[in-house]
């Protein structure tokens, strides 16, 4: 496929687009951030119009920002699945997922009414990867099989969201979640 030659893009516009993306990404990790276009613009000394235009709308900007955060996480999940046993992948990944949610508190908070296609797709990838881990772990006998696999996945996802919503989010709380979740997911009579 050939890169379609659109109208010329000026270097400063490209740089401003990058600045806006970084500002949005930074705000996503701050608990009380307002996440308005003006707030994002002010953070890098741009006008609101410039920020919006660079992405064609606020939704697209946030979609890009969230996707940028999610992408490495999805890659990590896939890598773990390839490198190690499902059980170990599940344990390691859950720890990292909860740490991610603790660090990027705002990622799932104010995003309710927005249309974020790339983010939605990445989330689906994440769910698929976790399902694979659970499926494998069940086969290995380290995860209980008396629950529906899909329900188990949802449970894990919602648990991750819950960590992000705690006030304040703390690593201690995330650790407690992980401990309880993993113990609760074990087969009722396993070591």
Partner DNA sequence: CGATAAGTGAAATGTGCGTTCCAGTTGATT
Partner DNA sequence: AATCAACTGGAACGCACATTTCACTTATCG
The single-letter DSSP state of residue 3 is P
Q: Is 176 in the site for a copy of itself (CB under 8 A)?
A: yes
Among 23, 33, 54, 65, binds DNA (CB under 7 A): 54
Instruction: List, as one string, the DSSP characters of 86-151.
Output: HHHHHHHHHHHHHHHHHHSGGGGTS-TT---HHHHHHHHHHHHHHHHHHHHHHHTTSS-SSS-HHH
* Region from 42-50, 71-79, 164-172, 173-181 binding DNA, contact rule CB under 7 A: 42-50
Among 35, 89, 164, 185, binds DNA (CB under 7 A): 35
Selection from DNA, a copy of itself, none that 95 binds (CB < 5 to 8 A by kind) is none
| Residues between 134 and 173 that touch a copy of itself (CB under 8 A) | 146-148, 151-152, 154-155, 158-159, 161-163, 165-166, 172-173
CA–CA distance, 21 with 67 (Å, rounded to integer) = 11
Residue 2 φ/ψ region, left for φ over 0, alpha for ψ in the -120 to 50 degree band, beta for the rest:
beta
Residues that bind a copy of itself (CB under 8 A): 146-148, 151-152, 154-155, 158-159, 161-163, 165-166, 172-173, 176-177, 179-186, 188
């Amino acid at each position: 496929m050939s890169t379609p030659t659109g109208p010329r893009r000026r270097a400063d516009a490209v740089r401003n687009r990058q600045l806006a993306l970084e500002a949005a990404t930074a705000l996503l990790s701050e608990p009380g951030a307002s996440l308005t276009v003006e707030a994002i613009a002010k953070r890098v000394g741009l006008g609101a119009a410039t920020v919006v235009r660079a992405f064609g709308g606020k939704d697209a900007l946030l979609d890009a920002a969230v996707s940028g955060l999610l992408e490495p996480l999805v890659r990590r999940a896939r890598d773990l699945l390839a490198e190690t046993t499902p059980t170990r992948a599940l344990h390691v990944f859950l720890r990292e997922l909860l740490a991610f949610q603790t660090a990027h508190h705002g990622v799932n908070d104010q995003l309710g009414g927005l249309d974020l296609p790339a983010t939605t797709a990445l989330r689906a990838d994440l769910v698929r990867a976790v399902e694979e881990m659970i499926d494998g772990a069940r086969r290995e006998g380290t995860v209980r099989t008396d629950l529906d696999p899909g329900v188990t996945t949802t449970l894990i996802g919602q648990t991750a969201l819950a960590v992000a919503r705690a006030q304040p989010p703390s690593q201690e709380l995330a650790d407690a979640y992980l401990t309880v979740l993993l113990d609760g997911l074990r087969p009722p009579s396993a070591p």
